[in-house]
Chain A
Amino acid sequence: MLDLIYAPFAEFEFMQRALVGVIAIALGGGPIGVFLMLRRMSLTGDAMAHAILPGAAVGYLLAGLSLPAMTVGGLVAGIVVAVAAGLVSRFTSLKEDASLAAFYLLSLALGVTIVSLRGSNVDLLHVLFGTVLALDDDTLLLLASISTITVLALAVLYRPLVLECVDPVFLRSVSRAGTPTHLIFLGLVVMNLVGGFHALGTLLAVGMMMLPAAASRFWTSDITMMMLVSIAIGIASGVSGLLLSFHAELPAGPAIILSAGAVYVASLVLGREGGLLWLAWPGRHLEA
């Protein structure tokens, strides 16, 4: 049994690389996902993932399957959409979800138009579903850098980020940090999504952020613990997804997300903080 878990990683270098990759993604994506969830921006992450796709596609068309070109393309597209949507929602009466929907639809349409103008039958499978089992050195370095930057930036921005969720009016009355914090946070979301798409593809990258975060909400009501639990769930899903894909010959990206999904469903049912079982059978009420 242990051999089934240990052997694939010990024997095959591509499995080791994939393991390092998913750990890096979980370290950055876990806390980002928790903040997305607490800021009620879960669907924002999803929309941004769509916004990255055309940027990466343009990078691919210009420079082929090149890591820098696709990364830069995705980052630019994601950041333009995120910042534009953020600014519009801050300074006009349009809410963030509506302005984001507008911008990501624009960028998606623009990307598809550019692709069709070139008229080539582009192989976008790499971008759509990722290549977690074929991570080269450069991609691993990129993933590790992104998660390092993310963790450091979150440590620095922790206070205004939390305060902006709980009491934005108070933050505005004591500090001007609100808007820059929000924009940097959106930048971090884009970075992590771009990192995630190299491994899992744009369509699944959000999964490694949101599923562990949503699952962690069912286990603790403390934000620090929530981030730690979220990272742990991310890593565990990564490992079990990779093993599932290795033994059952499933595609790796979806297997990882399905594992995270299984943890989410289990948490939804069993979680101590508002899980379904505890809601159905809460036990007798307490004295005080």
Chain B
Amino acid sequence: MSAASAAIGFDEVTLGYGRRPAVHHLDGEIPAGSLIAVVGPNGAGKSTLLKGIVGTLKPLEGHIRLKDSSSGIAYLPQAAEIDRSFPLSVYDLVAMGLWSRSGLFGGIARRDRTKIEEALAAVGLTGFERRPISTLSGGQMQRALFARLLLQDAPVILLDEPFTAIDAKTTADLLDLVRRWHTESRTVVAVLHDLDMVRRTFPQTLLIAREPVAWGETPEVLQPENLLKARRMVEAYDPHADVCHRTVA
């Protein structure tokens, strides 16, 4: 694959907190239009990787290349980071997806209002417009956040455990949206734990345990020996670790 077709490229990227790596020497490319799952044990650096791509965490070493600027990325972090008690309506929450066009001060035009209504309808939240976000269930909140992603209309979409603690019906509905994004040639990167879902829906998989374990076609990546290797690797923690001197290839 050529560099031009890569939506996201990693050049020997090490991401971490303090000096400790959470993602260690990741090298490779995610081609534009990929539908790729990121899997691995807890603490494997999956969320850290997404933070690195979206730019909220600077790499300790290496470089992350983006085809579009970081404003072309729609990012859904783990839902726990939202203040649900804030006095805000579902409509206003979803409308924030228009930020890249309306910015700090821009108004919301009639055309945008139609888009907001369409997004709410697409996730099955028509009629929820005026409800305060504090009244939403976990699944409804996730639907609202997917509506916001729809409005962001971004070429690259990052999802961090989007279906954790979400019921089957909601998961199925939201997975349909993910598939729709794939047919629209958007690049979708999703951190997931449900390997069956990954096998069914995601053609590509990155298995990571701080270091990349396997990356490629899903059936080959999710082999038992790879999964076992990943589990062993993430359990290795050395409090007296030396400085890493691995040379950049």
Contacts and interface: CB of A to CB of B under 8 A. Distances in A.
Interface of A: 38, 156-157, 159-160, 162-163, 165-170, 172-175, 177, 220-223, 226
Contacts of B99: 163, 174-175
Contacts of A170: 75, 77, 96, 148
Interface stretch (B35-43, B81-89, B193-201, B211-219): B81-89
25 contacts: A38-B86, A38-B87, A156-B104, A156-B105, A157-B104, A159-B105, A162-B88, A163-B96, A165-B86, A166-B82, A166-B86, A166-B88, A166-B93, A168-B81, A169-B81, A172-B56, A173-B54, A173-B55, A173-B73, A174-B71, A174-B100, A175-B99, A220-B87, A222-B87, A222-B132
Contacts of B89: 222
Contact of A167 (B70, B81, B105): B81
Interface core residue of A167, A168, A175, A222 (most chain B CB under 10 Å): A167
Main SS at interface, chain B: mixed
A91 B217 CA distance: 39
B83 A167 contact: yes
Nearest to A225: B87
B145 to A, nearest CB: 9
Give 9 nearest A-B pairs by CB, closest first: A173-B75, A174-B99, A166-B86, A169-B77, A223-B87, A221-B87, A167-B82, A173-B54, A169-B81
B211 to A, nearest CB: 25
A95 to B, nearest CB: 15
Contacts of A173: 54-56, 70, 73-75
B134 interface: yes
Contacts of A160: 104
Contacts of A166: 82-83, 86, 88, 93, 133
Interface in B59-73: 70-71, 73
B116 to A, nearest CB: 15
A177 B104 contact: yes
Contacts of A221: 87, 132, 134
A182 to B, nearest CB: 14
Interface core residue of B89, B99, B105, B148 (most chain A CB under 10 Å): B99
A173 B73 CA distance: 8
A223 B93 CA distance: 13
A160 B81 CA distance: 16
A65 B70 CA distance: 52
A47 B86 CA distance: 24
A172 B86 CA distance: 18
Contacts of B81: 167-169
Nearest to B81: A169
Interface string B97-115: 0011001110000000000
A157 B105 CA distance: 8
Nearest to B70: A173
Nearest to A221: B87
B104 A159 contact: yes
A90 B219 CA distance: 42
Contacts of A222: 87, 89, 132
A89 to B, nearest CB: 16
Contacts of A168: 81
Nearest to A172: B56
A221 to B, nearest CB: 5
A183 to B, nearest CB: 15
Given A38-B86, A162-B88, A177-B104, 5 more contacts: A156-B104, A167-B96, A169-B56, A169-B75, A221-B132
B110 to A, nearest CB: 19
Contact of B83 (A165, A172, A174, A223): A165
Nearest to A224: B87
Contacts of B132: 221-222
Nearest to B132: A221
Contacts of A159: 104-105
A223 B105 CA distance: 18
Nearest to A168: B81
